[in-house]
A and B are shown apart, each in its own frame.
Chain A
Amino acid sequence: MVELVQHLLNGFLIGGIYALMGIGLTLIFGVMNVVNFAHGQFYMLGAFVVYTVFTLAGVPYLLALVVAAMAVGLLGVITERLLLRPIRDQPPDVPMLATIGLSIFLANMALIIWDPTPKDTGLPFPLVGVKVGPLTLTPMRLFVLVAAFVIIAGSHLFLQRSRMGKAIRATFQDREAAALMGVDVDVVNMVTFGWGAAMAALAGGLLAPIFQVFPTMGAIVTAKSFAVVIVGGLGSFPGAILAGLLLGIAESLGAGYVSSGYRDAIAFILIIVVLVVRPTGLLGHETHKLA
């Protein structure tokens, strides 16, 4: 029983990060209709920026996270402007191929800049477990979980309350109608892609002290993010949160009780089950609606 609760707790912790990744990806797809295969590489770059700023330059960790979000967010903005906007009117596979190329480019650039040696960022918070009854929780993991949900809540507020958030939602629902109402769709695209990239970077920066940082760390994260988006429902903000947590818990239980070898398969089993039972995803709609 104690193990089961520990598995649920572990799954909840990693699920928060999956949710963060999924939200960024679902926004980009919903607003821009772009399947971003470079999402994991933005995650990787976020981790490397935190390593560079926090570990090498000695800047406080929280500030390093902000720098990572801004730097990678800016890279996202530049990517949208130079790579994606010129091919916006092409068939969907063209921008998809462009982001595949971008993902390889970014991974190899990281290989050149930071070399293939895995990096340890050091710990901003203690990693030694604190016993809460029979359970073990570390301050670092607790911080990651709280930070992930603060970022998610902030993003939700931004979408619901701010002028730009409303413009993004309008574009999400009907690009042409939004443009006719005076929404600058180009700016919305740029902000959305930059914002999605920044969220991925924050996820990478949050997990960097727990894991290691290396150029190829983004590949599996991209796959997990797609799983979250599909299971949650394309374009569903709460769906991404629910699917992220569900995936984290399912992986934790699956690796613990079924087999470690099937851990990564669990995400794809979830996709198949959800697509069969509910093709629009857990909280998806027949028509896109950014809820």
Chain B
Amino acid sequence: MIQTQKLARGLSAVVLATLMATCTGSPTVDRTDASDALDGDPILFGVIAPLTGPVADAGAYVVSGLTIGVGKINAQGGVCGRPLEPIILDGMNDPQESANAAENLITREQVPIIMGAWGSSSTLAVMPVVARHGIPLVVETSSSDKITTPGTPGFDWVHRISPTSAMEAEAMKPYLVDELGMQRVAILSVNNDWGRGAGATFRQAIEEQGGQIVREDYIDQTVTDVLPQLTQINGSGADAIVMTTGAAQIATILKQYTELGMDQLILTTGGSNYPVAIMQLASPEMVNGTYHVMFYVPTEHALAGDPAMSEWYYDTYAENGYPEVGLGESYRGFDAAHVIAQAIELNDCSLDPESLNQALTRVEFAGLSGLVRFSEAHGHQSRPNVYLVRVDNGELAAVAADPPVEQP
């Protein structure tokens, strides 16, 4: 009996120790294999992505694109003849965990550059850490205006590929009221820097065009029951709803929107709103007729910065068996890997962080999300393409683009 108890106690301790290691301040380190064909020590770079937690799916998608990108770079000779190798830490989309991950990547792994940290709140938490150590940060997803606003701690070390919420709203401004007829608008977004930032910029854009915001709701990213908010929106006389959150939460909202028999126009923003993912999690019928602001439309290769590469990426993604629902998010990792690789080459293969930070300003990469080029005048911010996409019978159709796409 005593032996059984000891055994069980030991078993419990092992289970506990294993589990604590997976959830606390010691995030999982994932080193993807660098190409065996290349000689020399791999060039390491850090990645902070949410691999667990409510948006773990989005983090996994970004990493899948990153993996394809790194694989392509290494297959083409690597960076300065050396293989590129990401060290991926789980930031859980939690500011504290992401900051811890940055600290670990810099002090323990000694990476010269970092990509991350998906959510705006997490990225804002990472920025003071990279600034303290003098390590450049390439932001692939976050859209809060604060990140590239001079004066924000860490601003000097940040270069952002993803557009700001203000860029989205500005690009969509001509369409919101005049084309889509959004006169009385409700905002229903995730309650963090991303959702609130987007809410504020879209409010401004709609009001400047003569529209009116009739209600604003901000929900936690873990919330699944939104019937109370939708009931209020339905009773507010809103004719449209602007949503900024991840695809999974949008799908949940659309299910309950259907339950209530609502008919308001739906516009989703933020770039983590891939309609194919929403359709798979809700249904094509529920998504029919909705509008989505996107930065990469996987099926519209002509819209990408490099159409041939977009086509290659689309096929490679499928060949690797990655889920189709992640395609619309995965491109971020692909573009970011290429930006980092090009910056190192432009820096004469030096991994000195300070000069690498300068080299980022000279990067020009025709990626999946358009031409990536960081403008010093606009706060180290690239200006990717922004598309307004409508879903009709399960098909995505770009109805507007910024910058406008030249017709052949």
B-binding residues in A (CB < 8 A): 2-3, 6-7, 10-11, 14, 82-83, 85-87, 97-98, 101-102, 104-105, 107-108, 111, 115-120, 127-129, 131, 136, 138, 140-141, 207, 210-212, 214-217, 219-220, 251-257, 260-261, 263-264
Cα(A253)–Cα(B15), bound, Å = 41
Q: Contact: B4 with A86, CB < 8 Å? A: yes
Cα(A128)–Cα(B57), bound, Å = 28
Q: Contact: A263 with B223, CB < 8 Å? A: yes
Tell me the nearest residue of chain B to A131, going by C-beta: B261
| Closest-CB distance, B361 to chain A (whole angstroms) | 35
Q: Contact: B54 with A216, CB < 8 Å? A: yes
Q: Contact: B52 with A7, CB < 8 Å? A: no
List 9 interface pairs A-B (beta carbons < 8 Å), by A numbering.
Answer: A86-B5, A98-B12, A108-B19, A120-B282, A216-B56, A217-B224, A260-B229, A263-B219, A264-B223
Tell me the nearest residue of chain A to B325, going by C-beta: A117
- Residues in A with CB closer than 8 Å to B235 are 2-3
Instruction: Tell whether B362 is near chain A: CB-to-CB under 8 Å.
Output: no
Q: Contact: B218 with A261, CB < 8 Å? A: yes
Q: Contact: A101 with B16, CB < 8 Å? A: yes
7 further contact pairs, Cβ within 8 A, besides A101-B20, A102-B15, A216-B54: A10-B225, A115-B60, A120-B282, A127-B258, A136-B260, A214-B54, A261-B219
Q: Contact: B191 with A261, CB < 8 Å? A: yes
Taking a contact as CB atoms closer than 8 A, the residue among B4, B57, B260, B261 that contacts A116 in the complex is B57
Of residues 37 through 66 on chain B, the ones whose CB sits less than 8 Å from some CB of chain A are 51-54, 56-57, 59-60
| Closest-CB distance, B136 to chain A (whole angstroms) | 28
Q: Contact: B259 with A86, CB < 8 Å? A: no
- Residues in A with CB closer than 8 Å to B54 are 214, 216
Cα(A135)–Cα(B194), bound, Å = 34
Cα(A68)–Cα(B218), bound, Å = 34
| Closest-CB distance, A187 to chain B (whole angstroms) | 17
Q: Contact: B8 with A127, CB < 8 Å? A: no
| Closest-CB distance, A15 to chain B (whole angstroms) | 11
Tell me the nearest residue of chain B to A82, going by C-beta: B8
Cα(A116)–Cα(B248), bound, Å = 11
| Closest-CB distance, B279 to chain A (whole angstroms) | 10
Cα(A194)–Cα(B191), bound, Å = 37
Q: Contact: A252 with B227, CB < 8 Å? A: yes
A-binding residues in B (CB < 8 A): 4-5, 7-9, 11-12, 15-16, 18-20, 22-23, 51-54, 56-57, 59-60, 191, 217-220, 222-225, 227-229, 231-232, 235, 248, 251-252, 255-256, 258-261, 280-283, 323, 325-326
Tell me the nearest residue of chain B to A105, going by C-beta: B19
Q: Contact: A260 with B191, CB < 8 Å? A: yes
Cα(A260)–Cα(B186), bound, Å = 13
- Residues in B with CB closer than 8 Å to A220 are 222
Taking a contact as CB atoms closer than 8 A, the residue among A11, A87, A117, A138 that contacts B57 in the complex is A117
Cα(A251)–Cα(B222), bound, Å = 15
A120-B52 contact given A85-B8, A98-B12, A128-B261, CB 8 Å threshold? no
Q: Contact: B260 with A86, CB < 8 Å? A: no
Most-contacted residue by chain A among B9, B11, B218 (CB, 10 A):
B9
Tell me the nearest residue of chain A to B16, going by C-beta: A101
Tell me the nearest residue of chain A to B17, going by C-beta: A101
Cα(A219)–Cα(B23), bound, Å = 13
Cα(A36)–Cα(B105), bound, Å = 35
Cα(A214)–Cα(B191), bound, Å = 20
A256-B228 contact given A101-B19, A104-B22, A116-B59, CB 8 Å threshold? yes
Cα(A127)–Cα(B256), bound, Å = 8
| Closest-CB distance, A258 to chain B (whole angstroms) | 10
Tell me the nearest residue of chain B to A220, going by C-beta: B222
Closest 10 CB pairs between A and B?
A86-B8, A116-B56, A101-B16, A255-B228, A104-B19, A118-B248, A256-B228, A260-B217, A211-B224, A10-B227
Cα(A270)–Cα(B283), bound, Å = 37
Taking a contact as CB atoms closer than 8 A, the residue among B220, B248, B326 that contacts A263 in the complex is B220
| Closest-CB distance, B35 to chain A (whole angstroms) | 26
Most-contacted residue by chain A among B12, B281, B283, B325 (CB, 10 A):
B12
Q: Contact: A256 with B229, CB < 8 Å? A: yes
Q: Contact: A127 with B259, CB < 8 Å? A: yes
Q: Contact: A116 with B60, CB < 8 Å? A: yes
Q: Contact: B259 with A117, CB < 8 Å? A: no
A120-B12 contact given A10-B231, A261-B191, A264-B220, CB 8 Å threshold? no
A127-B255 contact given A85-B8, A87-B8, A118-B57, CB 8 Å threshold? yes
Q: Contact: A111 with B259, CB < 8 Å? A: no
- Residues in A with CB closer than 8 Å to B59 are 116
- Residues in B with CB closer than 8 Å to A11 are 228
Q: Contact: B248 with A260, CB < 8 Å? A: no
| Closest-CB distance, A127 to chain B (whole angstroms) | 6
Cα(A252)–Cα(B256), bound, Å = 14
Tell me the nearest residue of chain B to A119, going by C-beta: B281
Q: Contact: B52 with A111, CB < 8 Å? A: yes
Taking a contact as CB atoms closer than 8 A, the residue among A86, A102, A216 that contacts B52 in the complex is A216
| Closest-CB distance, B236 to chain A (whole angstroms) | 9
| Closest-CB distance, A210 to chain B (whole angstroms) | 7
Taking a contact as CB atoms closer than 8 A, the residue among B12, B218, B228 that contacts A252 in the complex is B228
Tell me the nearest residue of chain A to B217, going by C-beta: A260
Cα(A85)–Cα(B8), bound, Å = 9
- Residues in A with CB closer than 8 Å to B23 are 104, 108
Q: Contact: B258 with A117, CB < 8 Å? A: no
| Closest-CB distance, A223 to chain B (whole angstroms) | 10
Q: Contact: A117 with B326, CB < 8 Å? A: yes
Q: Contact: A7 with B228, CB < 8 Å? A: yes
- Residues in B with CB closer than 8 Å to A138 are 259
Taking a contact as CB atoms closer than 8 A, the residue among A7, A86, A210, A211 that contacts B231 in the complex is A7
- Residues in A with CB closer than 8 Å to B325 are 117
- Residues in A with CB closer than 8 Å to B261 are 128-129, 131, 136
Tell me the nearest residue of chain B to A13, going by C-beta: B227
- Residues in A with CB closer than 8 Å to B251 are 118, 120, 212
- Residues in B with CB closer than 8 Å to A141 are 259
